[in-house]
Chain A
Amino acid sequence: MPTPDLPYDPAELRTLALSDTGFIFDPRTGHSYSANATGLATLAAMKDGLDPAAIATKLRAEFKGGAAVEDDVAGFVDLLRELGLVRARSAP
């Protein structure tokens, strides 16, 4: 189901293999990645198609002490874009 409001396409992340330890494998490129616990949770939520606001809410519920969580999620999506894991989306 296309989700045009999201700043990323969850379908692009579908093939990523996430492990609980934060080890991530991209079978399309053979690259592997390491993420911290919030990074892993964010990635999993993005795969599930959650929007950034919902992801921030989820992170706040699961971790304590987050301040500018929305900004951090936006920064993380930028990071994924730099790494080529998601493509830039033109504004809807």
Chain B
Amino acid sequence: MADRIYERPAIVRNTFGAMNKVGRRGDLSNHAEIDGVSIDALCKEFGSPLFVFSERRLRARVREAREAFARRYPSTTMCWSYKTNYLDAICAVMHQEGSIAEVVSGMEYDKARRLGMPGDKIVFNGPAKTETELRRAVAERAIIHADHLEEIYLLEKIAAETGATPTVGVRVSLDAGIYPRWDRFGLGLENGQAMQAVKRIARGGKLALGGLHTHIGTFVLEPAAYGRAAAKLADFATEIEKSMGVRPTHVDLGGGFASTNTLATQYHAGAIAPGIGDYAEAITSALIAGASGTGTLPRLFIETGRALIDEAGTLLTSVVATKRLSTGKRAIVIDAGVNLLFTAWWYRLNIAPARSAEAFVEDTAVYGPLCMNIDCIRESVPLPDLRPGERLAIHPVGAYTVTQSMQFINLRPAVVMINEQGTPELIRRAEVLEDLTGPEVLPERLKLGATTSGATPALKIAREG
């Protein structure tokens, strides 16, 4: 008899006509372990909150993506979008799996070089590259995609000064039939700006034409949009070759494939993301069809980010307190806030208790520790009765969380990766106060106990006034 787990006695009135928000759910899933490692043990060893990455899941997903393209289109290069998650260990796994680096800033570029990526295995995108960054990229033969004409002029200047002939590609903004259209990046295809840029590169005499790049959006749920984008780039490449006699070195379809997350605006919870194979099919069949006139298939670059890493990441957190709001709704306070989960703004993240609970759940608001009204991870999620100290797993959170996290009233937690043998390894230690205060400079005169000579300017003004 006493094998039943105790929960605080609870009772709720059933409401009819509304969605059943309380009561018994057969599908209440718990999340007791990750790759065989107990969540509780992880928190005890590395602290709470804690980011946990599964190397197994990550590698499996990368291989799945790589093979989905390679099967259909052998000359594909996978490029790891650093901004999605640029922890050294994550990037190193990606590079081991054969991805080159895709960076959008000098900082990311430096990070890739530091990890041992040679310049010619770095795709350098981004709307605001500096002259210093471009000089280095040119010298190291990085794969540059220019975002605007000013960048091309700057590259011409560097070429003139250094005597190099940099290979420069163009980021193209095109109408792939999806809303919203991302037209702030790159140069327009339909309005002729992209062609103007290509002409300048190919005929200006200082640069060599590189690839054609586009990144149509993010969490794009429609593979057909990639088919349209690929067809447009293929046609553009053909047009360039016909009119200028040069062939772009590659076409790059960017990233934006959906991960198995749930958008905040989505009605049904759960995975609605197409498979990677669906995107691969749309892109490669359009390229193959587009090349039928010329007989040559361009090299294909893919920069998918979130679709590869999101699933591999979990944030472990602990319950701090439980309460009832004035509306009677149940709420919990957890030790992880939106400063760690930027993506909570637009995803409905799964939150599952570590222990298996009786399937009696109640809609619960989940708040973080930030002492700010905006610090809400979920407005409403069905959860069982929870006690302080209980662990919860928030998932999937592998993409854009660690890179966009910040210190805000709390330091950032540790990050571990569970290796393929099932052993957790620390890949970023928990921060200490020095990580926050290190860059700060406190003027000598403001140090507590420093003797102030004479009145401060503010006081002087007050006296004079």
Contacts and interface: CB of A to CB of B under 8 A. Distances in A.
Interface of A: 21-22, 24, 31-39, 41-43, 59, 61-66, 69, 72-73, 75-76, 79-80, 82-83
A46 B67 CA distance: 63
Contact of B5 (A64, A72, A82, A83): A64
B359 to A, nearest CB: 9
B4 A34 contact: no
Contacts of B384: 36
A73 B9 contact: yes
Contacts, number: 84
A51 B49 CA distance: 41
Given A34-B24, A36-B358, A41 B1 contact: no
A69 B6 contact: yes
A4 to B, nearest CB: 24
Nearest to B1: A62
Given A31-B13, A64-B4, A80-B11, 11 more contacts: A21-B24, A34-B14, A36-B11, A37-B7, A38-B6, A38-B8, A39-B10, A59-B6, A63-B4, A65-B6, A76-B9
Contacts of B22: 34
A64 B2 contact: yes
B23 interface: yes
Given A31-B14, A33-B12, A37-B358, A66 B2 contact: no
B14 A83 contact: no
B9 A42 contact: yes
A19 B5 CA distance: 20
B13 A39 contact: no
A36 B6 contact: no
Interface in B1-55: 1-14, 22-24
B311 interface: no
Interface of B: 1-14, 22-24, 328, 358, 360, 384-385
A61 B3 CA distance: 10
30 contacts: A22-B24, A22-B360, A31-B14, A33-B12, A33-B13, A33-B14, A34-B23, A35-B10, A35-B11, A35-B360, A36-B9, A36-B360, A37-B358, A37-B360, A38-B9, A43-B11, A61-B1, A62-B1, A63-B2, A64-B2, A64-B3, A64-B5, A65-B6, A69-B6, A72-B9, A76-B9, A76-B10, A79-B10, A82-B328, A83-B13
A36 B14 contact: no
B15 to A, nearest CB: 10
A62 to B, nearest CB: 6
Decide if the interface of chain B is mainly helix, strand, loop or mixed: loop
A74 B19 CA distance: 30
B14 A32 contact: yes
B342 to A, nearest CB: 35
A38 B2 CA distance: 12
Interface centre among B1, B6, B9, B358 (most CB of A within 10 A): B9
Contacts of B328: 82
Nearest to B328: A82
Nearest to A26: B13
A33 B4 contact: no
B9 A41 contact: yes
Nearest to B8: A72
A42 B384 CA distance: 18
Contacts of A42: 9
Contacts of A69: 6
Nearest to B359: A36
B44 to A, nearest CB: 18
Contacts of A41: 9
